[in-house]
Structure 1
């Protein structure tokens, strides 16, 4: 029986069991019952990072002014009403608190049961605190941010002993415009209030919040579309108007693409884009006017560098005749491009589906993701099978510790990369 299921029947027994598992793990011994895989992998990461298992490695609180600055700059502020409506009333009644943290794990908002808020103060679970895995170990804020999926952490599944009287369920929040992690929403409380349905509840509300962000983005795109139509009608030629994230508002004389890849530091002037070729960018209110100057296609030989060395941020950089060009990668795209970098002869959709999902039948999902990848790699990514273009020089920058490679990924090739074993 899963420890979270046991906890719903007998929280005290489940807590004792997890305490024994944690003690054995810290002593380097094998316990009778291994930790759940998501918890075991988190403990491995935290042990490598040197977090004190009794006190953690608390960073200083952010000043109040910095917390306010982050709140104002974060898209999370746009979905606070959704999170409050979906979580707060039930959490308060159930002796829980709701915590919203940014992508770095810094707590920005915290509300809920007054008594539990006071208990949270005692363990530093307060606005401005760092609750990333590298600061306080396995927990309902830092761990979902690493693995990019909802996670429930019960009692001594928390790596730091001071948190063993808590139960937490957290879900990552991503920006639907670009797949970027923007934060985590977490519901936490005393371990005796734990319920196995909490994780599904928090995950569902997180999806509602992401849907609200998607709705706001579509509204802003409609406003840009109203500006774009007369601009393109007046110009003629091959051009398009996109928002600041590359989503297409209007197009003239070019094939329609829902989104084009813009460099991370897009600026006015001449350049090269995979979906357009040589072009010029001119700023518009809320976006860019892209005017094609020549035929689409690659600008000649190119070096492609896949940078997977940093935690939670991965990029691909193309350096060719048109100069260097970089793009931030979602967790899934980082995983797929790593697989293609390892298998230079190429992978079919079925092979990639087997690699990523363990199910070759999920070819449609893979094809949809690879179609999105080709928006920014264009002619440098071929298909049938999927592979980097012939002649492209491909390099991969890996973490200093191989075990930190794409921690969200369950793909077998990635797992072999973490272990240092040959990829094939």
Structure 2
């Protein structure tokens, strides 16, 4: 045990030294795991080093979201086992939503007090923009189990903690619903911690109700409703079946899908045609055709889609907002409706393209950059930024990145 505690002390000292060099000296080449360093960089943009507790979301909104949700149902089913684990290991457990807002906690006697002192409680916002690097945020951001030990946390208020977290997914849809986190003091760190977090996540997943039947949080299956692909090759699918539409009809669906509250005839005309001399009757005819194609699911005054809609643009922008660069690139099929003359869609196309590129320049994940280079093969700056960030020749992606860069400069 002494040897184990000594090893933990050495590990903690290394973490403190790296953190100090990063925070006080601006050393961007400190020896910490890449995901921790990326999070430190994000945290340095907003998370206050002198924070004494996480910001709290509205108590009533948090309680309303948790009440009768699939996660609440599952946690209630396995709660006795979760509580027993917390008490036996003097842990504090937390379940969050997809925004890293804590929905439920339970703690052993000592850790419960420590948790309350830093707002590690329902409503606490533990995204790294709010409190800096932590396992809850990393597990959600990476969609994979994560550990953050001692001063790997960006905020000193939790430098005495070790946290293990694992994402919780809906077994039916595969969607991430949140994470479960286990936390204790750094000197009680144990290799089994991460495996325990994974086990608890699987336990919760096995107890989840079938969300296809859930009245409030159900998620339409991939073949239900209207699915709009606007990035790359544009298409529209209704209940899984591709719709045979001309370009202008697809643009109208895109604009209605991007404005779920609806658009007046005049506003839709302006977004679609700009100053072009196209009559309102032409637009009405296009909408009438679409209404027939969708089985009447377009209302009038205003024009509004009356069925579930998913749009690939929303997925890309949401992933970027969450800092999930690799996932954003995976969902990015290319430019939004290339060649469109709709002023609104042209503007959105530029927003998405710039957002993806700037996200890669800020966080040039090698796999994400490789994926992006297949879509934008001549963007040498992104490739160069990634190679500089990697440094050296040891990363598996370096040869391919160099090859893509040489091709981009030809």
TM-score above 0.5, yes or no:
yes
Q: Secondary structure at the match of 1:25?
A: helix
Superposition pairs of residues 134-153 of structure 1, within 5 angstroms: 134-153=129-148
Cα contact 1:335–1:406 (8 A) shared by 2: no
Question: Shift of the alpha carbon at 1:300?
Answer: 2.1
**Aligned-pair CA distance for 1:108:** 1.7
How far apart are the structure 2 equivalents of 1:57 and 1:412?
Answer: 36
Does residue 1:161 correspond to 2:145, yes or no?
no
Deviation at 1:298, TM superposition (A): 3.0
Distance 1:171 1:262 in 2: 31
Aligned residue for 1:39? 36
TM-score, reference length from structure 1? 0.59
Q: Conserved in 2, the CA contact under 8 Å of 1:167 and 1:191? A: yes
- The match for 2:48 among 52, 61, 68 is 52
- Please list every run of 5 or more consecutive structure 1 residues that lacks an aligned counterpart in the other structure: 1-5, 225-242, 248-258, 266-271, 278-295, 306-318, 345-379, 381-387
Map 1:175-194 → 2, pairs under 5 A: 175-194=170-189
Contact 1:87/1:202 (CA < 8 Å) preserved in 2? no
Question: How do 1:75-86 and structure 2 match up within 5 A?
Answer: 75-81=70-76, 84-86=79-81
Return the match for 2:244 from 286, 295, 298. 298
Question: Structure 1 pair 341/152, CA: closer, same or farther in 2 (3 Å)?
Answer: same
For residues 309-353 of structure 1, the C-alpha deviation after alignment (integer angstroms, 9 at most, x for no partner) is xxxxxxxxxx99749853364968743332x427x9xxxxxxxxx
Conserved? CA contact 2:98–2:140, under 8 Å: yes
CA distance in 1, matches of 2:380, 2:16: 28
**Aligned CA distance change for structure 1 residues 26 and 128 (closer, same or farther; 3 Å):** same
Query: Map of 1:286-325 to 2, 5 A cutoff?
Result: 296-301=242-247, 302=250, 322=290
Secondary structure in structure 2 of the residue aligned to 1:110: strand
Measure the CA separation in 2 of the matches of 1:415 and 1:158.
30
Kept in 1: contact 2:96–2:178 (CA 8 A): yes
Aligned length: 303
Q: Indicate the residue corresponding to 2:382 in structure 1.
A: 421
Q: Kindly tell me: are residues 397 and 174 of structure 1, through their superposed partners in 2, closer, same or farther at Cα, counting changes over 3 Å?
A: farther
Contact 2:360 2:368 in 1 (8 A): no
In structure 2, relative to structure 1, the CA distance for the partners of 1:35 and 1:276 (3 Å cut) is closer
Q: 1:120 to 1:275 in 2, by over 3 A?
A: closer
Normalization by structure 2: what TM-score? 0.61
Q: Is the 8 A contact 1:7 1:13 kept in 2?
A: no
Kept in 1: contact 2:360–2:382 (CA 8 A) = no
| Runs of 5+ consecutive residues of structure 2 not aligned to the other structure | 229-235, 255-271, 273-285, 291-297, 299-304, 320-325, 339-344, 384-403
Which of residues 93, 104, 107 in structure 2 aligns to 1:98? Answer: 93
Q: Helix, strand or coil: the match of 2:44?
A: helix
Structure (1/2) with the larger strand percentage: 1
Structure with the larger helix share: 2
